[in-house]
Structure 1
Amino acid sequence: MVQITFINKPVTLVGKEVKVGDRAPEFTVLANDMSPVSLKDSAGKVRLIASVPSLDTGVCDAETRRFNEEVAGLGGDVAFYTVSVDLPFAQKRWCAAAGIEGVHTVSDHRELSFGENYGVYMQENRLLARAVFVIDRNDTVTYVEYVPEGTSHPNYEAAIDAVKEALAK
């Protein structure tokens, strides 16, 4: 069972821990235009999915920008999603202000489908824990990082290496 802290306080994660080798759980989240988005919408691509507490924080902002920049150079076979419980309107505003176009910011505010299916829903504050998942073209999870402290950065290099490895298969 994954144990993490958020602002140095232990939190309860709701849902099942996802592990390397698992079939990627399905989810339904909302795009910035309120349309539903699911895992199957990016079928056949390698997926980099970062769950973050809120795009309106420094670490989440920096993380999304960094992954967006890294993924941009990997070609069209990679789909990059940042999932948070921020409202779709706020995510759209953030993307416009940041000048970011490659990332799909998606909201889990309605159903917490992603949060529960990937074991990142923090019960105490109704936010998503910081985690990174890489899913290959066959919907197999090839990389998982549940960041131990929610205000810390993930291991960018390891995640991008996992994306490159999945692309090479």
Structure 2
Amino acid sequence: MEKRTGFMTLGGNPVTLLGKEIKVGDKAPSFTVLDNASKPVTLEDAKGKKLIISVVPSVDTPVCSAQTRRFNEEAAKMDGVEIYTISVDLPFALARYCAAEGIDKVKTLSDHKELSFGEAYGFVIEEARLLGRGIVIVDEEGTVRYVEYVKEVSNYPDYDKALEAVNSL
């Protein structure tokens, strides 16, 4: 497994990311995560749609929750766009969070079991077994069109650039 340093910090401390860095133009790697009912969801489930993958460490933290709420609001304005929020939170915790926060347009998905998404897209923080923060946009043909690995995990992603990228597809 590839290990990368110097890409991200957590609380100002450098972390090691596991997996290959994804770049614009790459074919989006396949992955399997779990929905809130512990049923498998794959990249192929979004085939033929534009896909925003919002990557967060845990929806139970303020920045992650704000990121998830922001994309839930944006989803109401978009047609033909699927939005996944992926974390290592357990499926039942994601279900509870969605019910409490009114998250109904974003699919919250758990990578806790196999880290399938995190390793395929290079977001796993080795020291914490969490995902780093970021955004990946995949077009209808399965090509990566935008990637952001947020340098400091406690910072927000660049929503404007991500939304501009998806709207240009």
**Length-normalised TM-score, structure 1:** 0.96
- Structure 2 distance, partners of 1:161, 1:102, is 19
Q: CA RMSD in A?
A: 0.8
2:127 alignment partner, one of 112, 121, 124? 124
Letter aligned with residue 91 of structure 1: L
Letter aligned with residue 93 of structure 1: R
**Counterpart in the other structure of 1:164:** 167
Correspondence 1:99 to 2:102: yes
Name segments (4+ residues, structure 1) moved above 6 Å. Answer: none
Letter aligned with residue 100 of structure 2: A
The Cα of 1:71 is off from its aligned counterpart by 2.2
**Counterpart in the other structure of 2:77:** 73
Identity %: 55
- Structure 1 distance, partners of 2:71, 2:161, is 12
- Structure 2 distance, partners of 1:74, 1:51, is 19
**Cα deviation per residue 1:17-36 (whole Å; 9 max; x = unaligned)?**
00000000100000000000
Aligned residue pairs, count: 165
**Cα deviation per residue 1:23-64 (whole Å; 9 max; x = unaligned)?**
001000000000000000010000000110000000000011
1:14 alignment partner, one of 4, 9, 18? 18
Letter aligned with residue 146 of structure 1: Y
Q: How does 1:16-165 map to 2 (within 5 A)?
A: 16-75=20-79, 77-165=80-168
The Cα of 1:155 is off from its aligned counterpart by 0.2
**Cα deviation per residue 1:81-136 (whole Å; 9 max; x = unaligned)?**
00000000000000000011000000000000000000000000000000100000
Long gaps (5+) in structure 2 = none
**Length-normalised TM-score, structure 2:** 0.96
